[in-house]
Amino acid sequence: MNNRKDSKTHGIDKYHHFDDSNDGDISGQLKSVYANWADAYDDDNDNKLGTVSQPNTVAMLTRHCQDPQAQIMDVGCGTGLVGLHLQRAGFKNYDGTDISTEMMSHAKARGYRKLLELDPTQQLAADENSYDAVLCVGVFTHGHLGPEGFDELIRITKPGGLICFTVNEGVWDEAQFDEAIEAHVENAVWRILEQSKMDYMVNEGVEAWYIAAQKLG
Protein backbone atom coordinates (compact mmCIF):
# COMPACT_ATOMS: atom_id res chain seq x y z
CA MET A 1 0.00 0.00 0.00
CA ASN A 2 1.26 3.46 -0.83
CA ASN A 3 1.07 5.64 2.28
CA ARG A 4 2.63 8.68 0.59
CA LYS A 5 0.57 11.79 1.22
CA ASP A 6 -1.27 13.19 -1.77
CA SER A 7 0.78 16.15 -2.88
CA LYS A 8 -2.29 17.86 -4.31
CA THR A 9 -3.65 18.43 -0.82
CA HIS A 10 -0.42 18.41 1.15
CA GLY A 11 3.08 19.84 1.15
CA ILE A 12 4.01 20.85 -2.36
CA ASP A 13 0.55 22.17 -3.25
CA LYS A 14 0.31 24.22 -0.07
CA TYR A 15 3.85 25.47 -0.76
CA HIS A 16 2.80 26.57 -4.24
CA HIS A 17 -0.29 28.34 -2.93
CA PHE A 18 1.13 29.69 0.28
CA ASP A 19 -0.75 32.86 1.16
CA ASP A 20 1.03 35.28 3.48
CA SER A 21 -1.39 38.11 2.89
CA ASN A 22 -4.30 37.35 5.21
CA ASP A 23 -2.97 36.15 8.54
CA GLY A 24 -0.37 37.34 11.02
CA ASP A 25 0.72 33.84 12.04
CA ILE A 26 3.00 33.18 9.09
CA SER A 27 5.41 30.94 10.99
CA GLY A 28 2.49 28.81 12.27
CA GLN A 29 1.28 28.38 8.69
CA LEU A 30 4.77 27.53 7.48
CA LYS A 31 5.23 24.94 10.23
CA SER A 32 2.00 23.29 9.16
CA VAL A 33 2.98 23.29 5.47
CA TYR A 34 6.35 21.70 6.19
CA ALA A 35 5.00 19.22 8.76
CA ASN A 36 2.74 17.93 5.97
CA TRP A 37 5.43 18.00 3.31
CA ALA A 38 8.38 16.55 5.26
CA ASP A 39 8.00 12.90 4.19
CA ALA A 40 7.53 13.72 0.50
CA TYR A 41 9.88 16.73 0.33
CA ASP A 42 13.02 15.02 -1.01
CA ASP A 43 11.17 13.18 -3.74
CA ASP A 44 9.26 16.31 -4.77
CA ASN A 45 12.49 18.35 -4.65
CA ASP A 46 14.21 15.99 -7.08
CA ASN A 47 11.40 14.69 -9.26
CA LYS A 48 8.69 17.34 -9.32
CA LEU A 49 10.42 20.66 -8.82
CA GLY A 50 13.85 19.64 -10.10
CA THR A 51 15.48 21.84 -7.47
CA VAL A 52 19.22 22.36 -7.93
CA SER A 53 19.85 25.07 -5.33
CA GLN A 54 21.52 22.73 -2.83
CA PRO A 55 24.38 21.47 -5.06
CA ASN A 56 24.72 24.90 -6.67
CA THR A 57 25.11 26.66 -3.32
CA VAL A 58 27.59 24.10 -1.96
CA ALA A 59 29.58 24.43 -5.20
CA MET A 60 29.60 28.22 -4.68
CA LEU A 61 30.83 27.72 -1.10
CA THR A 62 33.68 25.46 -2.23
CA ARG A 63 34.91 28.14 -4.64
CA HIS A 64 35.68 30.30 -1.58
CA CYS A 65 36.29 27.79 1.22
CA GLN A 66 38.23 24.55 0.88
CA ASP A 67 38.82 23.87 4.58
CA PRO A 68 37.12 20.57 5.50
CA GLN A 69 37.21 21.63 9.16
CA ALA A 70 35.31 24.91 8.55
CA GLN A 71 32.52 25.53 11.05
CA ILE A 72 29.33 25.80 8.99
CA MET A 73 25.71 26.66 9.89
CA ASP A 74 22.88 25.72 7.51
CA VAL A 75 19.92 28.03 8.30
CA GLY A 76 16.57 26.60 7.17
CA CYS A 77 18.22 23.21 6.70
CA GLY A 78 14.93 21.37 6.19
CA THR A 79 15.52 17.68 5.46
CA GLY A 80 19.25 18.24 5.15
CA LEU A 81 19.80 18.18 1.39
CA VAL A 82 22.44 20.90 1.76
CA GLY A 83 24.14 18.71 4.39
CA LEU A 84 24.19 15.83 1.95
CA HIS A 85 26.16 17.97 -0.51
CA LEU A 86 28.40 19.38 2.24
CA GLN A 87 29.24 15.80 3.25
CA ARG A 88 30.00 14.83 -0.36
CA ALA A 89 32.25 17.90 -0.66
CA GLY A 90 34.22 16.70 2.39
CA PHE A 91 33.04 19.21 5.02
CA LYS A 92 33.04 17.72 8.53
CA ASN A 93 31.58 20.32 10.90
CA TYR A 94 28.14 21.58 10.02
CA ASP A 95 25.09 22.37 12.12
CA GLY A 96 21.53 23.01 11.01
CA THR A 97 18.54 24.97 12.22
CA ASP A 98 14.93 25.09 11.05
CA ILE A 99 11.44 26.00 12.25
CA SER A 100 10.17 22.50 11.36
CA THR A 101 11.10 19.54 13.55
CA GLU A 102 9.37 17.23 11.04
CA MET A 103 11.68 18.43 8.25
CA MET A 104 14.75 18.17 10.50
CA SER A 105 13.89 14.60 11.52
CA HIS A 106 15.02 13.60 8.00
CA ALA A 107 18.26 15.56 8.35
CA LYS A 108 19.59 13.46 11.23
CA ALA A 109 21.25 10.94 8.91
CA ARG A 110 23.00 13.60 6.86
CA GLY A 111 26.02 14.31 8.98
CA TYR A 112 24.85 17.36 10.96
CA ARG A 113 26.63 17.84 14.26
CA LYS A 114 23.71 19.67 15.89
CA LEU A 115 20.15 20.27 14.67
CA LEU A 116 18.43 23.14 16.45
CA GLU A 117 14.76 24.06 16.37
CA LEU A 118 14.34 27.71 15.46
CA ASP A 119 11.79 30.19 16.68
CA PRO A 120 11.84 32.84 13.92
CA THR A 121 10.88 35.56 16.39
CA GLN A 122 14.09 34.89 18.36
CA GLN A 123 17.78 35.09 17.59
CA LEU A 124 19.40 32.03 16.05
CA ALA A 125 20.72 29.72 18.77
CA ALA A 126 24.33 30.57 18.00
CA ASP A 127 26.87 33.03 19.33
CA GLU A 128 27.89 36.02 17.30
CA ASN A 129 31.02 35.61 15.17
CA SER A 130 30.93 31.82 15.60
CA TYR A 131 30.78 30.28 12.10
CA ASP A 132 33.25 30.30 9.21
CA ALA A 133 30.36 29.96 6.77
CA VAL A 134 26.60 30.36 7.02
CA LEU A 135 24.35 28.95 4.29
CA CYS A 136 20.69 29.73 3.73
CA VAL A 137 19.16 27.87 0.78
CA GLY A 138 15.54 28.06 -0.33
CA VAL A 139 14.43 30.25 2.58
CA PHE A 140 14.42 33.68 0.93
CA THR A 141 11.29 32.88 -1.05
CA HIS A 142 7.55 33.54 -1.20
CA GLY A 143 6.07 33.94 2.28
CA HIS A 144 9.17 32.67 4.12
CA LEU A 145 11.84 35.20 4.99
CA GLY A 146 12.66 38.68 3.70
CA PRO A 147 15.96 40.59 3.64
CA GLU A 148 15.60 41.37 7.36
CA GLY A 149 16.82 37.77 7.76
CA PHE A 150 20.32 38.89 6.71
CA ASP A 151 20.98 40.40 10.14
CA GLU A 152 21.07 37.06 11.94
CA LEU A 153 23.16 35.38 9.24
CA ILE A 154 25.67 38.23 9.54
CA ARG A 155 25.64 38.19 13.36
CA ILE A 156 26.67 34.52 13.68
CA THR A 157 29.33 34.67 10.92
CA LYS A 158 32.96 35.29 11.90
CA PRO A 159 34.61 38.41 10.48
CA GLY A 160 36.09 37.26 7.18
CA GLY A 161 33.61 34.38 7.04
CA LEU A 162 31.21 33.55 4.22
CA ILE A 163 27.45 33.95 3.85
CA CYS A 164 26.04 31.98 0.91
CA PHE A 165 22.36 32.15 0.07
CA THR A 166 19.70 31.92 -2.61
CA VAL A 167 16.87 34.36 -3.35
CA ASN A 168 13.93 33.17 -5.46
CA GLU A 169 13.71 35.49 -8.48
CA GLY A 170 9.99 35.91 -7.74
CA VAL A 171 10.64 37.87 -4.53
CA TRP A 172 13.82 39.69 -5.59
CA ASP A 173 12.24 42.95 -6.79
CA GLU A 174 9.16 43.02 -4.61
CA ALA A 175 11.07 42.52 -1.35
CA GLN A 176 13.92 44.79 -2.52
CA PHE A 177 16.69 42.27 -1.94
CA ASP A 178 19.04 44.14 -4.26
CA GLU A 179 18.73 47.33 -2.20
CA ALA A 180 19.21 45.44 1.09
CA ILE A 181 22.33 43.69 -0.22
CA GLU A 182 23.73 46.97 -1.52
CA ALA A 183 23.04 48.73 1.80
CA HIS A 184 25.24 46.19 3.59
CA VAL A 185 27.95 46.78 0.96
CA GLU A 186 27.76 50.55 1.45
CA ASN A 187 27.89 50.15 5.24
CA ALA A 188 30.97 47.91 4.91
CA VAL A 189 29.17 45.01 6.58
CA TRP A 190 30.03 42.58 3.76
CA ARG A 191 31.53 42.47 0.31
CA ILE A 192 29.98 40.48 -2.49
CA LEU A 193 32.21 37.73 -3.88
CA GLU A 194 29.66 36.30 -6.33
CA GLN A 195 26.18 37.21 -7.48
CA SER A 196 24.53 35.40 -10.36
CA LYS A 197 21.11 34.26 -11.53
CA MET A 198 20.91 30.56 -12.27
CA ASP A 199 18.59 27.56 -12.35
CA TYR A 200 16.67 26.94 -9.14
CA MET A 201 13.55 24.80 -9.78
CA VAL A 202 14.34 23.51 -13.24
CA ASN A 203 11.06 21.71 -13.88
CA GLU A 204 9.14 24.90 -13.06
CA GLY A 205 11.39 27.22 -15.07
CA VAL A 206 12.20 29.23 -11.92
CA GLU A 207 15.62 30.78 -11.37
CA ALA A 208 17.21 32.22 -8.23
CA TRP A 209 19.92 34.67 -7.39
CA TYR A 210 22.94 32.93 -5.82
CA ILE A 211 25.03 35.18 -3.63
CA ALA A 212 28.29 34.63 -1.77
CA ALA A 213 29.22 37.46 0.60
CA GLN A 214 32.20 37.88 2.91
CA LYS A 215 31.60 39.50 6.28
CA LEU A 216 33.98 42.37 6.88
CA GLY A 217 35.67 42.61 10.26
Size of the site for ligand SAM (CB under 6 A): 21
Nearest distance, CB of residue 82 and ligand SAM, angstroms: 5
75 binds ligand SAM (CB under 6 A): yes
Nearer to ligand SAM, 133 or 139 (CB): 139
In what side-by-side order are the strands of the sheet with 131-140? 115-117, 93-98, 71-75, 131-140, 157-168, 206-215, 190-201
Among 98, 110, 153, 177, binds ligand SAM (CB under 6 A): 98
Residue placing its CB nearer to ligand SAM in the complex, 81 or 163:
81
One DSSP character per residue, the chain reads ---PPPTTTSHHHHHHT---SS-S-HHHHHHHHHHHHHHHHHHIIIIII-B-HHHHHHHHHHTT---TT-EEEEET-TTSHHHHHHHHTT--EEEEEES-HHHHHTTGGGT-S-EEE--TTS--SS-TT-EEEEEEEEEESTTS--GGGHHHHHHHEEEEEEEEEEEEHHHHTTTTHHHHHHHHHHTTSEEEEEEEEEEEEGGGTEEEEEEEEEE--
Regarding 118 and contact with ligand SAM (CB under 6 A), the answer is yes
Q: Which is nearer to ligand SAM, 65 or 102 (CB)?
A: 102
Q: Which stretch binds ligand SAM (CB under 6 A): 5-13, 83-91, 136-144, 175-183?
A: 136-144
Q: Which residue in 49, 72, 103, 201 binds ligand SAM (CB under 6 A)?
A: 103
Give the contact letters, 24-43, x = binds to ligand SAM (CB under 6 A), - = no.
Answer: ------x---x---------
- Asked if residue 96 binds ligand SAM (CB under 6 A), the reply is no
Residue nearest to ligand SAM (CB): 78
Taking the complex as a whole, the smallest distance from the CB of residue 217 to ligand SAM amounts, in Å, to: 26
65 lies in the site for ligand SAM, by CB under 6 A:
no
Binding residues vs ligand SAM (CB under 6 A): 30, 34, 53-54, 75-78, 81-82, 98-100, 103, 118, 120, 137-139, 144-145
